[in-house]
Amino acid sequence: MNLLELNNVSHVYGDIVKSKGLDNLSLTTQKGEFVAIMGPSGSGKSTLLNIISGILPATSGSVIVAGRNIANLNDEEAALFRRNTLGFVFQDFNLVETLTVRENIMLPLMFKNEGIKSMKEKSEKVAKSLGILHILNKRTQEISGGQAQRTAIARAIVHQPELLLADEPTGNLDSANSEEVMKIFENLNRNYGMSTFLVTHDVETATYSQRVIFIKDGKIYNEIRKGNNLIEYRENILNVLSVIRGV
């Protein structure tokens, strides 16, 4: 079953000075797929994520997510759809500083009016799996970058979204922490079938995916699927990147 269907999607920023964020882009992904998006700075990767989540409207073309045409949702339906179906992880974590780690993780459940007991159980379960059970009562200023990113991931997955959207989730982490975060994503994808759509500049991060879609100037430039050989996958990704960058 298709999870995402983008048909000839364009997004134009600005009224007077126009700039093309996406240019007639089409792609489909399967339910349960782990897709990485790569491409030069300004190529449209974040725009693509924002179009999929319905934060940005497509200027033309259609966007179907989990069977729903998101242009047809009203504001309330769109908000509900985002809260129930999607999880987000951002490069800069986006944690709420006035809240504790636990409260941050509970946020998506609060929006769903879950009971406090259920919220507590779910947040502890996910915190345990991410190794942050011991910091649940800390404020976000008191935790490390790696812990903050794990908290952001816990918040993104606590409501078991169908689709996880991650924009440079390892961009602020050192290589050891990046590897751990990617293993968590890999696990979620393998064991819970969570579809994942991840933007990254980093080749090592991209190798955790099953398919890399390369974007340039708002268009699909190329795509590579993982075969049985991880080393070959990595080499192929590096080759496309070097051509895309023209070096």
Ligand X SMILES: Nc1ncnc2c1ncn2[C@@H]1O[C@H](COP(=O)(O)OP(=O)(O)OP(=O)(O)O)[C@@H](O)[C@H]1O
In whole angstroms, the minimum distance from the beta carbon of 36 to Mg ion comes to 14
In whole angstroms, the minimum distance from the beta carbon of 200 to ligand X comes to 9
Q: Does residue 84 contact residue 112 with C-beta atoms inside 8 Å?
A: yes
Per-position x/- string for 27-66, each x denoting binding to Mg ion as judged by CB under 5 A, each - no binding: -------------------x--------------------
In whole angstroms, the minimum distance from the beta carbon of 166 to Mg ion comes to 12
Residue 41 touches which of ligand X, Mg ion, none (Cβ within 5-8 Å per kind): ligand X
As a whole number of angstroms, the distance between CA 144 and CA 57 comes to 35
Q: Which amino acid is at 45?
A: K
In whole angstroms, the minimum distance from the beta carbon of 212 to ligand X comes to 14
Name the segment binding ligand X (CB under 6 A); options: 11-19, 27-35, 147-155, 238-246.
11-19
Would you count residue 19 as binding ligand X (CB under 6 A)?
A: yes
In whole angstroms, the minimum distance from the beta carbon of 235 to Mg ion comes to 25
Compare residues 103 and 168 and give the one whose CB is closer to Mg ion. Answer: 168
As a whole number of angstroms, the distance between CA 84 and CA 76 comes to 12
Would you count residue 140 as binding ligand X (CB under 6 A)?
A: no
Compare residues 46 and 123 and give the one whose CB is closer to ligand X. Answer: 46
Residues 6+ apart with CB under 8 A from 44: 11, 20, 21, 22, 23, 25, 215, 217, 218
Would you count residue 108 as binding ligand X (CB under 6 A)?
A: no
Q: Give how many residues touch ligand X by CB under 6 A.
A: 12
As a whole number of angstroms, the distance between CA 205 and CA 222 comes to 18
Compare residues 66 and 206 and give the one whose CB is closer to Mg ion. Answer: 206
In whole angstroms, the minimum distance from the beta carbon of 56 to Mg ion comes to 12
As a whole number of angstroms, the distance between CA 84 and CA 7 comes to 24
Per-position x/- string for 27-66, each x denoting binding to ligand X as judged by CB under 6 A, each - no binding: ------------x-xxxxxxx-------------------
As a whole number of angstroms, the distance between CA 37 and CA 197 comes to 7
As a whole number of angstroms, the distance between CA 118 and CA 206 comes to 35
- Footprint of ligand X on this chain (CB under 6 A)? 13-14, 19, 21, 39, 41-47
- Footprint of Mg ion on this chain (CB under 5 A)? 46
